[in-house]
Every structure is written in structure tokens, then in C-alpha cells.
Chains A and B, each alone.
Chain A
Amino acid sequence: MNIHALQQIVHQTRDARRKQTFPRLSPGDRDQLIHKYHPDYRASAYRPLRFGPNEGEKTVVELATLLEGDSPIDHRIDLIPHHQADVLVIGGGGAGCAAALHAQEAGAKVILATKLRLGDSNSVMAQGGMQVSVAPEDSPVTHFLDTLKGGHMENDHHLLKVMVEEGPSIAKWLIDLGVLFDRQADGNLHVKKGGGSSKPRLLTCSDYTGLEIMRVLKDEVINRKIQLLEFCAAVELLGDGDGTCTGAVLKDLDNQQYVVVAAKSVIVATGGIGRLHIQGFPTSNHYGATGDGLCLCYRIGAKLSHIDTFQYHPSGAVYPEQLVGALVTEGIRSEGGHLVNAKGERFVNELDTRDVVSSSIIRECEEGRGIRTMSGRVGVWLDTPLLDMEHGPGTVEKHFPAMVRQFERFGIDISKEPVLIYPTLHYQNGGVKIDTNSETEVNNLFVAGEASGGLHGRNRLMGNSLLDLMVFGKRAGLTAAARAGSMKQGKLTLKHLERFRAEAKKHGDLSGVVSPMILPAYTRKVG
């Protein structure tokens, strides 16, 4: 049967489903479902780290191998700096841009290095929105509780309080820079309800929220004449040998030369790990999401937090084949889109948290109620045409132009045809452990955004990532800039690497893997 024939059940059952309400699961049922079906609980995918700051803790094999991997750098090389800065920002996504802008505004000399172009990141793809408690019936406290609940009560309270309280002033900062958030008729910010949230709290720019924010921040970085090193991947951090970070070694991907940067502070804003394709999952992440920052920080001695938990976004495209793994925004479910199995039944409250919804989709597919494509992939339906029926014709086109365009290119009209989806590797819930100034356990080494850990607990709530980037990018930038005036540039050494290598040797040497990965190996070996 072709995909169009299989879709008919969605159209046939729509009216009946519209009359149904589907309750959220009780806490006990949620736990049971997640433990049985969520990929975080597949024991065979995990192994303990053999050495380093998180020795003995478990993470997925793909990440463990890289964290214990060797540096491409010879630790005896001469470290004569090519560049000097007060603040070196590594990463050109949302957190990196926010950090660079705030540090520069506070008077620091900033260098922003990124392995692709400025702005190439997951941030640019964020569609769902940014959570900020601006509605009168909402409050930062409610935002805090929703996030804590979504994160299975494991979120760092201090980090979380900072994020929710600084949300509104971040929104103001972005508006002043020209970001066009959607508005209500009275001029106030329009807020949408996101999965796992008790109040409407998502600020959006149609379904281009990340793109709009990034267009503006990139433009601002260029306007402020912040020094950029594009196509320069960080391959090792530098330290004084005594617990303080002092710079980094980059690799210029255009000419393969190493570039040494001396910096009073380093802000790692390197994003996530989707391109490691953990447990074989497709991913919604950008090309460079290879967890580089985790490897760099781990080697220099920074502890990681919650690295055993990843977010599998419930709705990654399964069909057409060209879009496999691409994100189908949660906004569709926020506006009432149903998830439907092969029998035409709903099977979960679509606005439950991402881990619950993903687990339930995996359950449906494993128990034989999924829909299989011609290329052997399995998924469930997301009833997109329902939105036009609920909210009037043209709703899908008006609210989700990016998604309409994405599918239209392959001849699919999502306002008429449902979309086939399956969980896609989306986000690294944990990362490098930070304090409320975004600083790690290594002095003057800051981590902001997805590369950091603790804030989101075991499951990030929709819309909290964009806010995380802006708040902790800002805090890292301001703290680093404030220190620059009163301190001297520390010595540049690779003593930590010498120690790391000695440790690796003790543990039966290495797998031969070199990290960071920089880019995934997608090129086919020809001949």
C-alpha cells in the first residue's frame, strides 16, 4: 500500500477523535512508560566512563568513546599565540552570539570562533518558541515549577530560578534589537502553550523563532565589529596547569593550520550532540552538533552533569525519505494536532512532556501499531489537516509557513495530508556542570547553552532552550568581561593534556579515537 492509501484512516477517524479528550498520565504511569520505552533506559546503549572527572558514571557508548578520546594535538608543541583576547567565545549559535555581544558591550575585547559560519547552529532551527512568563496569569514561579516537573525534579534550582527570572528582561533586550515577536491585537506579546507547560508562555516569530533571533544577533555581532574566526574548530583548550583556562587551540578548516588563541576567559558555546546519532537515531540537529565542547571541557578537568539523558523529540519526519529526522514543530501539537496510530486511534495526550510522548510513540511502533514506509521506516501519524478544521482554513499555512514550505518541496501539502513522524535525537539534556555565572569547575572556563548541564534536569521543556541560551550566554559574557580588567593573561600550557594522556594510558590506553569529532563522517569512501 502506498502512503496515501494508509493515510485514509486518519481522515476517516478525525471527526470521532475530535470529540475525545485524552487525559495526561499519572506520575506512576509516566514512569512506567518511560522506563519501558524511552531510549535513555536502554541499558545496553550505556557504559561507565573509565577515567576523567566523571569516572564511573554512565553515558551512551558514542559519547563515552569521544570523551575518552585522544587530542589531535602534540602536547609538546610551541604555544605562541596568533590572537589575544579578553574573552574567547567558541561557538557561533545563540549562546555564543549572546555571550559575545554582552561581553563586548561590557568593554571586553572579544573573539568569536566557530567551526562553520557565524550562526550555523541548532538555534537557527528553533521553531517552537521561547518560554518567558509574560502573561498576567503566569509567573516566573509557575515557569519554575513547570520546568522542574518536566525535568523530573532533577533541575539545578539555582540555575533554573535565574533563567525564569531573567526571561522577561531577555525578551526586552531582543525586542530592542529588533526581534519581531508575534503580538496580540493590543500590542502585548502573543503567548502560545507548549508541551508540559501549565500556562501559555511561548513567545514566537511564526515558526521561525530561532531564525529571526539568529538573523538579528548575527547582524549585531557584525555591526559591533566583533572579531570572527569562522571555519575554525576548537580542538583543545589551554590552561595554566593549575586549574585555570587560558585559551584554546583552533584548527582552521580552510588550510588545516592550528591557530593559538590566548584569552583571559573562554566561553564554550558549542551546542549539542545530535550528529553522534546516539543509538542509531536520526537527528534534527545541524551539521556541527558533534559534542566538541564536552570533550574539550572534560579533558581540561570540568565535570559533566546529566550526561546519561538525551531528548528524543517526539516528532521527527519519517516521510519523505529526504526529510528523515527533520523536526516537525511541537507547535502543531500545541495547536491541537492529534497523534494517530495505524488503527486510527489516539494513544497519548499530545501535550504531555516530550519524553512521555516519545515513549508512547515508540510503544505504538514496537507493538505493531505503527505505519511503515516503503523504505522500511516506521512512524505514527500527526494529524495536521485537523488544525485547519479546528481553527479555520489557512491556519496551517499561516502559523507554520516554514513547515509548509519544507514539505511542499517534496509535493506534500500538510494542510491536506497528515505527516508521518517518529522520535528524533534532538537535545542533550545534560552537559558541562556550571554555576549561576555559567562558570565550570575550571576557573575562567564558562559554558553556555546546550553544552552546559544541570538546568534542564532529565528532560528539557519545550521553549526553554532559546531562553537558556540567551540568559546564560549573557551571564557568561558579563562575568568574563568583568574579570578581564583586573587580571593578567595566564600561561599557555597543555599540562592538563599530558595528565589526561597519562591517565588514559593507565586505563589500558585508548581506542585510537581522536576527539573532538568536528564534523560527522558522512562522505562515502569511494573506490
Chain B
Amino acid sequence: MTQNDDNLIDQPEVLKPRMVTIEISGKQYTVPEGITVIKAMWYAGQEVVRGVGCLGGFCGACATYYRTKDDPKVKTCLACQTAVQDGMSFTMMPPFPARKAIYDIRTLQDPKQDLFNLYPEAPLCRNCNACTEACPQKIDVREGVWKAVFGDFQSVSDMFMDCVMCGMCTPVCIADIAPNLVALYVSRAQGAHFTEKPAGLETRIKEIKEGRFDDEWNRILSMNGQELTELCAKVK
């Protein structure tokens, strides 16, 4: 890399990571401070197959329980999105055998009523709020379950757009509700049944089917490379 005299780059201070002591599934390791929980597992020499997915905080594969030094509170996080600190103790959440209802979203007759057939446990929420506390995406899960039960599907679908389906709301539920799965059903029903069909999209599909663009296609596809390049350059 060439660097001029007027180089505005801040000169690096050599990074020497401080090492911290953590516990992975009850066993102690020394790892560099600040790396992510998942990288700490790799650093500790562990092979990870289950428990890693997108590594970007979107897929929910790396749901993890952790506790910080001297704090009795066990919290939840996504392992790829959380930095380790001294005295931290963590373990990954195993796949939890929650029941998912089976349905054909397109042929539902009364989706708001069907909720109670598909997930009869949904109205049994006892308001303990453990699901909300467990959500690493900070969704008000308990509120969402109640809104689903009261038929406010629009609000549920808005609230759960952030849901990465990590499932951490599920093991904590004393009423055996799987709130993420309830919300998934509700959101899909909202999209498929309670959202206006976009008229412009239908028009465009019809135009394509009826060949409205055929002349233009014929003109373009018969062009040589030079002509096509010139045409592309003109598109603004």
C-alpha cells in the first residue's frame, strides 16, 4: 500500500487482545476478549455443526443462554452477534421439540378462528412474560400472543417482522405455547388473507401474458452486440 505524506489514515495501534476466562457448557477456557460467542467456541477448539447458520444475526441457529460474572440472571443471545467478556458462562440451546401446526394457508376459510384449532394453547397464556424476556430480538412476544388471540393479526405481523425463529420464547413458556410459530401462522394469514391484493401487479402479469412487450422484445433481441450496448448506455 502506498502512503503519501498527507495520508489521513490514523496509524494503527497494535491490537493485543486481552485474554479473558469464560465457561462453555461448564468448562473453562481462556479466549481473546471481545470475540463473538461463536468464535470463542472455535477458538476453544470446538467443532460446531449444529448451532451455526448465517453468522449474520438472521437465521436464529445460534440461540444461546449466557450469564455474566456474578449475575444470577441467565440471559439469551444469538452467538454470532454477542461479544464474550470476562467471567461469562454460556451454553447453546439444543433444538427444542415444539409442535408446529400443519395447515394450507391458501385454503383457510376463517383464519382468525382457525388459530384456535391449530394452536389451541394460544389463549392459555398466563402472562408470565418469560417469552418477552427471552427474545434476543426484543420483540414484545407476550403482547404479540395476546394480540393474536384477540385477532389483531396486523399488529402481530408488524411486531414479528424482526423474528429470526430462534425459538428461545418456546422452552420458557409455562403454557406450552410456541409464540414464534403462532406469530408465523398469524403473519402468513395476514399476508394471504387480510392484505389487499396489489392491482398494479395483476395488471403487469396480464400485460406480459397478452404480449404487450413482444414488439419491444423482438426489436431488442434482434440487435447485435454493438446496438444493444448503445441502447443500454442510453437507459437512464
Contact = CB atoms under 8 A, between A and B. Distances in A.
A1 interface: yes
A23 to B, nearest CB: 12
Interface in A99-138: 116-117, 119-122, 124-125, 133-136
B97 interface: no
B79 to A, nearest CB: 11
Interface in A433-473: none
Contacts, number: 233
B100 interface: yes
Contacts of A135: 200
Interface in A159-180: 161, 165, 168-169, 171-172, 175-180
A292 interface: no
A409 B79 CA distance: 12
B50 A231 contact: yes
Contacts of B164: 211
A205 interface: yes
B57 A176 contact: no
Nearest to B164: A211
A169 B207 CA distance: 12
A509 interface: no
B35 interface: yes
B27 interface: no
B11 interface: yes
A522 B208 contact: no
Q: Which of B11, B36, B189, B200 has the most CB of A within 10 A?
A: B200
B61 interface: yes
A139 to B, nearest CB: 6
Contact of A153 (B4, B105, B229): B229
A370 B188 contact: no
Contacts of A142: 235
B12 A187 contact: no
Interface string B171-183: 0000000000000
A298 interface: no
Contacts of A120: 53-54, 59, 61
Given A175-B198, A219-B184, A401-B162, A180 B190 contact: yes
Interface of B: 1-4, 6-15, 34-36, 39, 42-50, 52-59, 61, 81-83, 100, 102-106, 137-138, 157, 161-165, 184, 187-192, 195-205, 208, 213, 216-217, 220-221, 225, 228-229, 231-233, 235-236
Ordered nearest first, which 10 A-B pairs have the shortest CB separation? A178-B188, A526-B45, A178-B191, A342-B8, A187-B196, A368-B7, A178-B192, A149-B232, A120-B53, A286-B54
Given A189-B201, A225-B102, 9 more contacts: A119-B59, A124-B59, A141-B213, A169-B208, A178-B187, A188-B201, A205-B161, A210-B58, A401-B162
Interface of A: 1, 6, 27, 116-117, 119-122, 124-125, 133-136, 139-142, 144-146, 148-149, 153, 157, 161, 165, 168-169, 171-172, 175-180, 183, 187-189, 198, 205-206, 208, 210-212, 215-216, 219-220, 222-223, 225, 231, 253-254, 284, 286-287, 321-322, 326-327, 342-343, 365-376, 378, 401-402, 405-406, 409-410, 519, 522-527
17 contacts: A6-B10, A122-B54, A125-B56, A153-B228, A161-B217, A169-B208, A172-B201, A211-B58, A284-B56, A321-B35, A322-B81, A365-B1, A371-B8, A372-B12, A406-B57, A409-B82, A519-B49
